[in-house]
Amino acid sequence: MSREVTIARLGAQGDGIAETGNGPLFVPFTLPGEVVRADLFEGEKRGTPLEILKASDERAKPPCPHFGACGGCELQHASPAFYAEYKRGIVIDALSRHGIEADVAPLVPCAPGTRRRVTLTAVRAGPKALLGFHEAHSDRVVPIGPCPVAMPGIVDALPALEKLATILIDRKAPLKLTVTQTDAGLDIAASDAAKLSEERHRQAVSHALASKFARLSSNGEILMKARLPQVFFGGIAVEPPPGGFLQAVAAAEDAMAERVLKHLAKAKRVADLFAGSGAFTLRLAKGAKVHAVESEAGALAALDAAARQASGLKPITHERRDLYRRPLTVKDLKPYDGVVFDPPRAGAEGVAQALAASTVKRIAAVSCNPQTLGRDLRILIDGGFQLKSVTPIDQFLWSHHVEAVALLERGR
């Protein structure tokens, strides 16, 4: 069944929302003010746009031929100005839900062709593997050719990656390939791969070497390392663990780090919580003693190895600790005058509660989820901190995902 509707606004997931007698109707790839004819499903809660009857002045031509099928980008049809203000608005709305009125800065933009890390999915298609991204709101995989968000080195390697997927894929389960562009070439981490026979192991290694990949791992086991797959945090070389966390765009990481370092410039001892492989730790250690806390052993090992090779750094200590199961206590935080935390999407509620009761003077809160950031900032503000600034940062271009850096000082 189809229906003509008027789009009132965009939702937090990037879908257009039309108000109907049955409640909100979500229609992807539309913009506020547009009149569309939509094919309805899910009890008339969702719709697929069949025809744009009246287009918005903010509608733009999508740059990718896969737009509308590939689920990686929801907002290529929006003008740059509309898109930037929409993402800024996501942060403003999230904070407002927690009673926080903040002067949110303009969105720090993300350029096309700069994503250094992508996660591809492969499914078996006869004797070969079909490699691509998931279709919007579906488990189906869309094969991709050009990809305007990924770095050219990743796009150029897609045929070789598809051949690799054919070697590694299990007969029953989809295969995940996490592909990272490093200075030495591509670092490939396969997960949910098949148990490799001696012959398939040989084929995978031979293909990776012929394709000039820097490193190949499968289900956590390194199969081949031709060169060191290094990235640089503030000029310091780091070899992340296979598939380990890494900010997807180097320029976005730099924008986050610039704000964190400026805010904590006067701190003498800093705690870096959810530290990963040291994106903030290594930069901060150029001017302060830093204690890095992280739950993943591989990430801490990478940080430690990088710190040992670097020169001119203040002392760095590290601790393996699950901050969700064992948040830091007020006593643990006593030595530090500055803290940065960059948690997963679940946020840092326990950490925020401890910080609110601590004597820490300055906090830099980095977040990939504005909703949990708002909750954590509310705890800190109620504990006596003043919110000095909030900056949204674009990292996942043309998607609804937005990063943010919030800077706080303890009130006097």
Q: Where are the beta strands (DSSP E) in 228-321?
A: 231-233, 236-238, 269-273, 289-294, 316-320
Pure H helices in 111-220: 152-156, 158-168, 198-210
Residue 274 near residue 292 (C-beta atoms within 8 A)? no
Structural tokens at position 343: 């948690």
Give catalytic status of residue 110 as yes or no. Answer: no
Round to whole Å and give the CA distance between 227 and 282. Answer: 22
What long-range pairs does 168-171 form, CB within 8 A, spacing at least 24?
168/193, 168/194, 168/196, 168/200, 168/204, 168/218, 169/122, 169/123, 169/124, 169/129, 169/193, 169/194, 170/194, 170/195, 171/124
Pure H helices in 171-223: 198-210
Round to whole Å and give the CA distance between 68 and 76. Answer: 9
Residue numbers belonging to the annotated binding site for S-adenosyl-L-methionine: 247, 274, 294, 342
Residue 5 near residue 15 (C-beta atoms within 8 A)? no
Residue with tokens 């009246």: 54
Round to whole Å and give the CA distance between 288 and 265. Answer: 8
Catalytic positions, written as ranges: 368
